[in-house]
Amino acid sequence: MIDIERFTAEREDRWRRFGELLDRAEVSPERELGPDGMRELLRLYRLTAADLNRARSLTANPEILERLNALAGRGYRFLYRARKAGGERPWDRLARLFTSEIPAAFQRESWAVVVAVAALLAGALVGAGAILARPSAAPELIPAGFFTESPRERVERIEKGDERIASVGQAAVFGSQLYANNIRVSFLAFGLGALTLVGGIWLLFYNGLLLGAVAATYYLDGVSVFFLAWVGPHGALELPAIALAGAAGLAAGRAFFFPGDQSRGDSLRAAFPRLFRMLAGVMATLVVAGLIEGSFSQFSAKTVPYALKIAVAAVLFVALFAYLFLPRAAAARRGGAPP
């Protein structure tokens, strides 16, 4: 009888490779793996299924059997889905895009997200620190349009005047103008990251610099709570979306400038499905942020208390990052093999 330790040692590399291919195949399998990768995955699935049957006759070790059972089950579900994808309804594909493929793309490029968010936060800290250290530097850092009145005067004008948004139509028009501008900024962050890498990081840093400087001016004028309540609800989605667009640009730039063993063309083709999904997620987030900014964010404390607006901002921020980065479907991916 074959020793079970020798049995597993001889097949360990193969099982590990099969698991790696399944991990890669979670986003747009055909384009991610290519024909050769799909053929390799099918071959490894058949071998793993055979290994599972053989292992059942050799051992009752639950660790080995559960591992092979999980690998074979994942392979079966993936290959079955791939065969049925051609008959999938458009709404099913759209649901899968937003429920699993967009989060998986960001998780795959999490390094780029970390770099982009770090650049934005570093800029905010530098901007805020510069204003707190020397308040007179505000006109040098912040566009002149922000200095038509002091933060405190602006707050008093808003809180004493009529609400800026009086109807759904006004909110829709105002929101469309806002998210159109945010989409332009996001695509600029993506383009600079893709073409230069450093340019994308600098743009994120600069936007963070402006944000931090403006926030500091409100803090120094004693109206920081208003700033959080005014910017928070839409900013909780808008600012991460711009950083995520920059992250997609960095991922594209890495695929082009550092293709590894692949040609640049092959590297970009392999990255394209993830980039498409990342940008789709960014655009959807910006549309929602624009609608919030054109309506809910504009209400003064007369209509919506500051505390409620800040609480909504916190919930939106946590929900966005939970949606994108919390592990999901782990049980389904590691479940048992089909009967």
CA distance 269 to 26: 16
CA distance 47 to 62: 20
**pTM of structure:** 0.73
Chain-centroid distance of CA 279 in Å reads 9
Q: Which of 63, 88, 113 is the last residue of a domain?
A: 88
Asked if 128 and 227 sit in the same domain, the reply is yes
Q: Which of 34, 56, 88 is the last residue of a domain?
A: 88
Asked if 153 and 188 sit in the same domain, the reply is yes
255: Cβ–Cβ under 8 A, 6 or more apart, which residues?
264, 267, 268, 270, 271
Residue showing tokens 């360990």: 12
Asked if 129 and 48 sit in the same domain, the reply is no
Asked if 28 and 134 sit in the same domain, the reply is no
- By the 8 A CB rule, do 189 and 330 touch? no
Q: Is residue 125 part of a domain?
A: yes
CA distance 142 to 212: 10
Which three-class secondary structure state does DSSP give residue 149? coil
Asked if 76 and 115 sit in the same domain, the reply is no
- By the 8 A CB rule, do 299 and 163 touch? yes
Looking at the 3D structure of the chain, how many domains does it have? Answer: 2
CA distance 230 to 128: 18
pLDDT band at 335 (very low <50, low <70, confident <90, very high): very low
pLDDT in tens, 136-173: 888 888 887 766 778 888 888 888 877 766 555 555 55
CA distance 248 to 277: 9
Asked if 150 and 225 sit in the same domain, the reply is yes
Helices 306-325 and 224-257, axial angle in degrees (round to 10): 20
Asked if 184 and 317 sit in the same domain, the reply is yes
pLDDT in tens, 216-266: 999 999 999 999 999 999 999 999 999 999 999 999 999 999 998 778 888
Q: Is residue 333 part of a domain?
A: no
Asked if 12 and 37 sit in the same domain, the reply is yes
- Full domain range(s) for residue 47: 4-88
pLDDT in tens, 198-212: 999 999 999 999 999
Asked if 258 and 132 sit in the same domain, the reply is yes
